[in-house]
Structure 1
Amino acid sequence: MIAYIDGKLTYKDPTYVIIDVNGIGYQIKISLSTYSSLPTGERCKLHTYLHIKEDAHTLYGFTTTAEKDAFLHLISISGVGPNTGLMILSSLSVEEIQQAIVREDVRTIQHVKGIGAKTAQRIILELKDKLKKEVLLSDATSAPATVHNMVRAEALSALVTLGFAKTVAEKTLDSIIKREGSNLSVEELIKFALKSS
């Protein structure tokens, strides 16, 4: 499997690109969103999927792993081939596709050229639970990450100023966030840390 291709973009078309890697030109099919984010003549990296049929080996490329993941989800559905998957990604953003599936919005998916009501319903039915789990996981990791990055950094700085050793302060803050949750303010974090010392 070819996971990605990194080289010079020598040709760019709304439906495909050619990337030169050490003198070999790889022709890669792309979506419109990938097309609009690629600069011509510059080095670029595309995350790729190699589709193998009896009569052809076709590379599909994406600027983001999120778009590639959405594509892989879509082509796992019976009746949705790689070209249809690319058509959906050219018509809707990854976020729009995810929201339409999670909200069971058949009409949004059906607006894509070549997608009928039955195919749209099948996409929603088969991907709904999978995407809901992914959304819950990303929400669960992004909320603590925000606290971890901004509020935690401010609290850490304050504790070090107050005379705490940095490593001790870090361990203390992490255990507080784990115990009390990720919605604490800087002041609350500092108070908990001072009480636990």
Structure 2
Amino acid sequence: MYDYLRGELTYLSGNGIVVELGGVGYSIVCANPFSYQPLLHRETKIYLYQYVREDAIILYGFKTREERELFIRLLSVSGIGPKNALAVLASGEPDEVIQAIESEDSKYLTRFPGIGKKTAGQIILDLKGKMADFSVDGRASADTVAGNATLDEAVDALKMLGYSEKEINRVVPELKKKNLTAELYVKDALRLLTHA
């Protein structure tokens, strides 16, 4: 399975984007393709989910690992398919959706296309209490540092060192103010994390 793809965003359409890597254009279905407009003709990193069915293999793309994880968890709910899960992601913020699930707010969930009362109840039944490990601290996740590949590499290195998403997100705003090599980003992050 693919984790992410990094390449040039070459095309946007109503239902997805095309990212070119090594001379190959990957067609990726996204919740809100036009949110990628600022990254058009620039290098970008897209987190992927490969969906396989009898008649098709489809790549779904997300700006953050958290969005992808919420998509996967929604797919695990009986009656929810990729189209419904994308509608939830396109229309709501992941942290708001999680809050609605945890507080059993079926009214909030039924505002999404294709989600009726029965399906909202099923989402709550299947996912309530299983979202505690789900961290969406701020919409500027450490996973999405658009246009700064070296900072992305540093964030990946910090994760390998065992730092949590929450800890990393706390220092990323300070790191974004600088233009460093990946190695220096890591050193600066470690300084910030150990003196916090």
Deviation at 1:87, TM superposition (A): 0.8
Q: What displacement does 1:142 show?
A: 8.5
What's the CA shift string for 1:112-151, capped at 9, x where partnerless?
11111110010011111101x3269x8xx799x59x98xx
Match of 1:2 in 2: 2
Q: Distance in 1 between matches of 2:14 and 2:66?
A: 20
Deviation above 3 Å: which 4+ runs of structure 1?
none
- Which residue is 1:36 aligned to? 35
Query: Which whole-Å CA distance do the structure 2 matches of 1:91 and 1:108 have between them?
Result: 11
Counterparts in 2 of 1:41 and 1:135: CA distance versus 1, 3 Å: closer
Structure 1 counterpart of 2:84 = 84
**C-alpha RMSD of matched pairs (Å):** 2.6
8 Å Cα contact 2:51/2:58 also seen in 1: yes
Report the equivalent of 1:64. Answer: 64
In 2, distance between residues paired with 1:61 and 1:142?
A: 20
Could you tell me which amino acid in structure 2 is paired with residue 75 of structure 1?
L
How high is the TM-score relative to the length of structure 1? 0.66
Gaps of 5+ in 2: 138-163, 172-193
Q: Deviations over 1:13-38 (max 9, x none)?
A: 24200011111110000012x64145
Matched, 1:18 2:22: no
3-state SS of paired residue (2:126): helix
Cα distance in 1 for partners of 2:36, 2:12 equals 11
Question: Which position in structure 2 is the counterpart of 1:52?
Answer: 52
The 2-side partners of 1:92 and 1:21 are apart by 30
How far does residue 83 in structure 1 lie from its aligned partner after superposition?
1.4
Residue identity in the other structure for 1:81: G
Structure exhibiting the larger radius of gyration computed from Cα positions: 1
Structure ranking higher in helix proportion? 1
Looking at both structures, which has the greater relative contact order when contacts are Cα pairs under 8 Å and sequence separation is at least 6?
A: 2
8 Å CA contact retained: 1:19, 1:27 = yes
